A and B are shown apart, each in its own frame.
Chain A
Amino acid sequence: MAQKLRTRGHRVVLNRSKGGDGGITFLLVILGAFMFLPMYYVVVQSLKPLDELFMFPPKFYVIDPSFDNFKDLFTLMGDSWVPFSRYIFNTVFITICGTVGNLIFASMAAYSLAKLRFPGRNAIFQLIVMSLMFHSTVNQVTHFIILSAFGWIDTYLSIIVPSMATTMGLYLMKQFMESSVPDTVLESARLDGASEFRTFLTIAMPMVKPAWLTLIIESFKGLWNAGASVYVHSEELKTFNYAIGQILSGGIARSGAAAAATVVMMIVPIAVFVLNQSKIIETMGSSGMKD
């Protein structure tokens, strides 16, 4: 092809046109606005005092911001027979137990699948990949039967224990271990007489810190956002998300408080992501599925 190459210094200037750049920027701004404005509106709503919530037409900004909605959260549900802090405790408790369990179990399994060769290894990994292909709610009916056989209906266990075997974190951890923990390092540890478990704990795990964080956020995302579970019906075991739904059903007067609750709810996962973004992207680099 008789195309003349543009160069700057010794670098080839890539094929970029001004029109293309402009078009892409334009599309990004439109899509970005679509994604961002609702999130922004939640924050605005949460800061609006009552009279501004009833303003017509509703404004996309706050005239006189106040934190009353956040304070209201604690008094609003005061007359329900479970204190509001209980919902927060439930969400935090479920999230921490499930995430820690998932991290421990999935890391051990990931190491075993990525770095040890034993009969059945491929079959087990295939099964785990297959599980990524369907949404877990398909299983809800038979899942319920199994949980009731254990007598776990209406307990924390019904949410926490199954979440410890979430396959997404295991998958990402396994892929990352395969690409970033060299076999030679493990081998020299074994030659020094370290047991397999010790090798895993002291050599492999410190090398895959980015994958821990990714596993934590994957597990966290699912548990933190768990709404009203069909396996739990006692009020005192229900989550913060369930409470938000209850607040919101109170209509327009409650929409400020509901927005405040939503802000509390979304700040935590967003903060976790912001602090770990580069590590998570690093882990995702090895997330590919070979066909």
Chain B
Amino acid sequence: MSRSKTEAKRPTQRSEMSKWQWTWKEMKRNKTAYFMLAPFLILFIVFTVLPVVLSMILSLTNFDMLNIPDFVGAKNFTRLFLDDEIFILACQNTLIFACITGPVSYILSLLIAWFINELPPKIRAVVTLIFYAPSISGQVYLIWKTLFSSDSYGWVNATLMKWGLQSEAILWFENADYVMPLCIVVALWTSLGTAFLSFIAGLQTIDRSMYEAAAVDGIKNRWQELWYITLPTMRPQLMFGAVLSITQAFGFGAVVDALCGFPSVDYAAHTIMHHLSDYGGQRYEIGYASAIAVILFIIMFGCNIVIKKALSKVGE
């Protein structure tokens, strides 16, 4: 680890001692740094790192909160993939859900941020608020339940009936055909969050003179501008936004629960996250639930690695 020039207190000459001695000395010299980090780090380790590690260990056992756990090897995993049809269904649903909401929300955030970038500041602030508000307003998505209410007081049913497209009310959230698309729409509605703001900010920091220089160099339209200048310049924001979008795409369980109840009709909107809560929170099969959690971790990290690779190709 390199030392910055700015540290004047008791400089240590690295060459005089072994690596471990040097590290120890540096640690002692930076005592304050560790003290300042400690409160956060301890909580972070206890409530974030430890649960992950514990999941990995418990996934290899048959722990049930009551008896002393036995080591069962990969049995939980083989059971998941070979004997649990609902898990396979949950995997399909999760992939459909995440593969639509993740990319669509990401692209939408980026496009809208880009569209509004050239608006006058006051108008831009208002438009930003309109797009961002649903993501910070908590359970406001419950209004979709009123709009798509299963009786004729729901706006959608009433409109369909008034126009004669439908003779009786549709039970939107109790129909396996409609549950998934509806949840996706609502999830997208709430999804323009921190990534969206990050894109707006990223676009704001790009120097206008870069575009002028590009115009001189023969960039012909706004799409070329976007691809050759805007996107490569804001690659760090694109990366940050991607991480958040992936995380979000797998975390819409609460939206689904609130709209469709749990379990959803015919498991039509049952995701891996629901399967996890089911086994962990209801049936107390902690070992089995941990195996589900481990699979989710692998999927999320896998997505992050793939996206990182893809983003490094932007603007080439």
Q: A residues touching B (Cβ–Cβ < 8 Å)?
A: 1, 3, 5, 11-12, 14-17, 20, 24, 27-28, 31-32, 34-36, 38-39, 41-42, 45, 53-54, 56-58, 60, 104-106, 108-109, 111-113, 116-119, 121-122, 124, 127-129, 131-146, 161-162, 164-165, 167-168, 170, 183-184, 186-187, 190-191, 195-197, 200, 217-218, 221, 224-225, 227, 230, 241, 244-245, 248, 252, 255, 258-259, 262, 265-266, 269-270, 273-274, 277-278, 280-285, 287-291
Q: Which residues of A contact B10 (CB under 8 A)?
A: none
Q: Which of B14-56 contact A (CB under 8 A)?
A: 23, 26-27, 30, 32-34, 36-37, 39-41, 43-44, 46-52, 54-55
Q: Which residues of A contact B301 (CB under 8 A)?
A: 133-134
Q: How far is the CA of A145 from the CA of B64 in the complex (A)?
A: 11
Q: Which residues of B contact A287 (CB under 8 A)?
A: 194, 198, 201, 236-237, 240
Q: Which residues of A contact B138 (CB under 8 A)?
A: 224-225, 241, 262, 265-266, 269
Q: How far is the CA of A197 from the CA of B149 in the complex (A)?
A: 56
Q: Which residues of B contact A41 (CB under 8 A)?
A: 143, 146-147, 155
Contact B129 A273 (CB under 8 A): yes
Classify the interface of chain A: helix, strand, loop or mixed.
Answer: helix
Q: Which residues of B contact A140 (CB under 8 A)?
A: 276-277, 280-281
Closest 5 CB pairs of A and B: A288-B236, A1-B218, A135-B251, A225-B138, A141-B280
B213 nearest in chain A by CB position: A12
Contact A281 B200 (CB under 8 A): yes
Contact B152 A56 (CB under 8 A): yes
Classify the interface of chain B: helix, strand, loop or mixed.
Answer: helix
Q: Please, what's the 1-or-0 string for B237-270, where 1 marks a CB less than 8 Å from any CB in chain A?
A: 1011001101110110110001000000000000
Contact A134 B41 (CB under 8 A): no
A150 nearest in chain B by CB position: B46
B96 CB to nearest chain A CB (Å)? 17
Task: Name which of B1-9, B70-78, B81-89 contacts chain A.
Answer: B1-9
Given contacts A227-B139, A245-B142, A265-B139, contact A138 B215 (CB under 8 A): no
Q: How far is the CA of A109 from the CA of B251 in the complex (A)?
A: 27
Given contacts A117-B1, A277-B128, contact A270 B137 (CB under 8 A): yes
Q: B residues touching A (Cβ–Cβ < 8 Å)?
A: 1-4, 6-9, 23, 26-27, 30, 32-34, 36-37, 39-41, 43-44, 46-52, 54-55, 58, 65, 108, 111-112, 115-116, 125, 127-134, 136-140, 142-147, 149, 151-155, 158-159, 161-162, 189, 192, 194, 197-198, 200-202, 204-205, 211-212, 215-222, 224-225, 234-237, 239-240, 243-244, 246-248, 250-251, 253-254, 258, 273, 276-277, 280-281, 286, 289-290, 293, 296-297, 300-301, 304, 308, 311-312
B170 CB to nearest chain A CB (Å)? 15
A253 CB to nearest chain B CB (Å)? 10
A70 CB to nearest chain B CB (Å)? 16
CB contacts between A and B, total, < 8 Å? 351
Which residue of A15, A113, A138, A262 contacts B143 across the interface (Cβ within 8 Å)?
A262
Q: How far is the CA of A291 from the CA of B243 in the complex (A)?
A: 12
Contact B221 A127 (CB under 8 A): no
Given contacts A12-B215, A117-B30, A138-B293, contact A285 B48 (CB under 8 A): no
Q: How far is the CA of A217 from the CA of B44 in the complex (A)?
A: 20
Contact A57 B51 (CB under 8 A): no
Q: How far is the CA of A5 from the CA of B217 in the complex (A)?
A: 10
Contact B234 A288 (CB under 8 A): yes
Q: Which residues of A contact B134 (CB under 8 A)?
A: 35, 38-39
B15 CB to nearest chain A CB (Å)? 17
Contact A15 B236 (CB under 8 A): no
B10 CB to nearest chain A CB (Å)? 13
Contact A195 B201 (CB under 8 A): no
Contact B247 A134 (CB under 8 A): yes
Contact A141 B143 (CB under 8 A): no
A135 CB to nearest chain B CB (Å)? 3
B287 nearest in chain A by CB position: A141
Contact A42 B143 (CB under 8 A): yes
Contact B159 A57 (CB under 8 A): yes
Instruction: List 18 A-B pairs, Cβ < 8 Å.
Output: A14-B212, A34-B189, A42-B143, A58-B154, A112-B36, A113-B37, A128-B44, A137-B251, A138-B55, A142-B52, A145-B54, A183-B4, A190-B9, A227-B258, A230-B277, A262-B137, A277-B128, A284-B200
B252 nearest in chain A by CB position: A135
Q: Which residues of B contact A289 (CB under 8 A)?
A: 236, 239-240, 243
Q: Which residues of B contact A34 (CB under 8 A)?
A: 189
List 17 additional contacts besides A58-B154, A141-B289, A252-B153; criterion CB under 8 Å.
Answer: A5-B216, A14-B215, A15-B220, A32-B127, A38-B143, A109-B41, A117-B1, A118-B34, A135-B251, A138-B276, A140-B280, A141-B286, A146-B54, A196-B36, A274-B129, A287-B194, A288-B240
Contact B308 A291 (CB under 8 A): yes
A183 nearest in chain B by CB position: B6
Q: Which residues of A contact B37 (CB under 8 A)?
A: 108-109, 112-113, 124
Which residue of A15, A109, A124, A137 contacts B215 across the interface (Cβ within 8 Å)?
A15
Name the residue among B47, B289, B296 with the largest chain A CB count within 10 angstroms: B47
Q: How far is the CA of A277 from the CA of B130 in the complex (A)?
A: 12
